[in-house]
Amino acid sequence: MRKKQEDSDYIAYGANGQPFEISYWDEIYGSGKDVDASFNAKEHAKYIKSLFDLMQLEPRSIADFGFGKGLLLKEFVKIFQPNRIFAVDPSEEMVDAIAKQKWIRGYNLSFLHSTIQDLELKHFNFPPFDLGVCNSVVQYIEEKQLPKVFEKLHKLVNYLYFTVPTKNDYDRMKKEIYFTDPYAYQRSKKYYEKLIKPYFRRVAFNLLESRIVQDSQFCDELFVEE
């Protein structure tokens, strides 16, 4: 099911002032063969599935905030077989593209053309999604909007599969693989840690646990961030 919120055009712009449409996907993703969580999306899904199995967690609902080409979302859906799926992206091109993909048939999947910033919590009248995905998205959001974004996300999901490159990561990628991203805001690890801490606990590689979660399975003191 495809939806579109009212009263906004949902055009998102990068740090370079350019919209996330055709030029972005061509410049940054290209063929997708060198983009983490694209060429190895299946491995990401297997990793988080094995981790959740270990912790005796079984997510039955998934939300993807900035699904892009949908490669990671597809693998997460295939391996978890959730009964409720929600996906949002600010690129109308990507929303049109996922609507044409055959794999979405047979799933209870709704997708929305919107930014995370414009999502309205009043439209989510159900328990939080068990698992959220926010892969390489927040580096494109303006600093003044980020606190509200994380406040919103921690109310929408119990666990968040989360990645964001820091300034040091961008420096390393530029040196090692000659990759630059003019659309991204480059921020420090310390900045992101301070931003995330009021809303999420970091419990594993790429995995955040919302502070709304009670009686967490991730309870070994040495490995849980307070």
Please say if the pLDDT value at position 139 is more than 50: yes
pLDDT, tens digit (0-9, with 9 covering 90-100), for 57-70? 999 999 999 999 99
CA-nearest of 217, 220, 223 to 58 is: 217
In the three-class reduction of DSSP (H, G, I as helix; E, B as strand; rest coil), residue 47 is classed as helix
The more confident residue out of 35 and 105 is: 105
Positive/negative CA dihedral, 97, 101, 38, 200: positive
Convert the pLDDT of each residue in 69-123 to its tens digit.
999 999 999 999 999 999 999 988 899 999 999 999 989 999 999 999 999 888 7
**What are the structural domain ranges in the chain?**
2-223
pLDDT above 90 as % of the chain? 70
Q: Is the pLDDT of residue 166 over 90?
A: yes
**φ and ψ at 116, to 5 degrees?**
-60, -40
Question: According to the model, what pLDDT value does residue 13 have?
Answer: 83
pLDDT digits (tens, 9 = 90+) for 145-164: 999 999 999 999 999 999 99
**Per-residue confidence at 34, pLDDT binned at 50, 70, 90?**
low
For the residues of 178-204, what is the DSSP string, one character each?
A: ----TTSPP--HHHHHHHHTTTEEEEE
* Cα(179)–Cα(166) distance, integer angstroms: 14
Mean pLDDT of 110-137: 92
At residue 125, does pLDDT exceed 90? no
**Binning pLDDT at 50, 70 and 90, where does residue 32 land?**
low
Q: Is pLDDT of 36 > 90? A: no
CATH architecture group of domain 2-223 = 3-Layer(aba) Sandwich (3.40)
Q: How far apart are CA 131 and CA 61, in angstroms?
A: 6
pLDDT at 226 over 90: no
